[in-house]
Amino acid sequence: MSTAVSIPVAKAVRQYDDGRTVTQLADEYGCSRSYMHKQLVAGGAKMRPRSSGNRQRSDGLRHCWKCKKDLPLDQFGKNKAEIGGLTRTCKPCAGKQQRKQRLKQKFGIDEKQYDSMLQEQGGVCAICGTAEYNSKNHRLAVDHDHATGAIRGLLCSMCNTSLGGFRDSPELLKRAADYLNKEKS
């Protein structure tokens, strides 16, 4: 980055006073952080102490540390320990991270293995054929044998819940199917 960049100092000071960070301004104006800092001090900005938190801004936006986007405040979860009382990452980024952790901790697989299973099933539930994302935008659940922990496949939430309701018992499922068929005759 070049330090011989012409910066509208008064504008940069206003942006800094509105909550933008030195790093954000340096990136925007194409200069180093130290050069931006010097320009802001020369322009009369009251420099804030450095913080590990994410400051509240007057424009109603917050910067996500994961996707690096400035997003509306309602896109962030609550966290009293953070500056501004909101999480550092937006809800979509946090959800992706939680999903990765849950797949690894609960089933011992990663996103790549999940995607491979999904591709083998043609992108649909192994029982009813519902597409990966249903009307509620839910992904297919990882179905596993509760006794052994072995993964059987990917199911929509309805099929997964139904199997659980029958306690994963083939005998109970057969009796339920016989019951349904008896009612038809």
pLDDT in tens, 93-105: 999 899 899 999 9
Residue 2 pLDDT > 50: no
- Residue 1 has a pLDDT of 47
Residue 134 pLDDT > 90: no
- List alpha helices for the chain, DSSP H: 9-17, 22-29, 33-42, 91-102, 111-120, 157-165, 170-184
Tell me the CA distances in angstroms from 142 to 5, 41, 43, 139, 165, one per residue in order.
53, 55, 57, 9, 16
Residue 142 pLDDT > 90: yes
Q: Assign domain 1-50 to a CATH class.
A: mainly alpha
Q: Quick: pLDDT tens for 24-55.
A: 898 888 888 889 999 999 999 888 766 545 55
- Cβ distance 64 to 93 under 8 Å? yes
Q: Quick: pLDDT tens for 148-185.
A: 889 999 999 889 999 989 988 999 999 999 998 986 66
- Residue 127 has a pLDDT of 94
Residue 13 pLDDT > 80: yes
Percent of the chain with pLDDT over 90: 46
pTM for the full predicted model: 0.58
Q: What residues does each domain of the chain span?
A: 1-50, 52-106, 109-184
Tell me: domain 109-184, CATH 1.10.287.3510, correct?
Answer: no
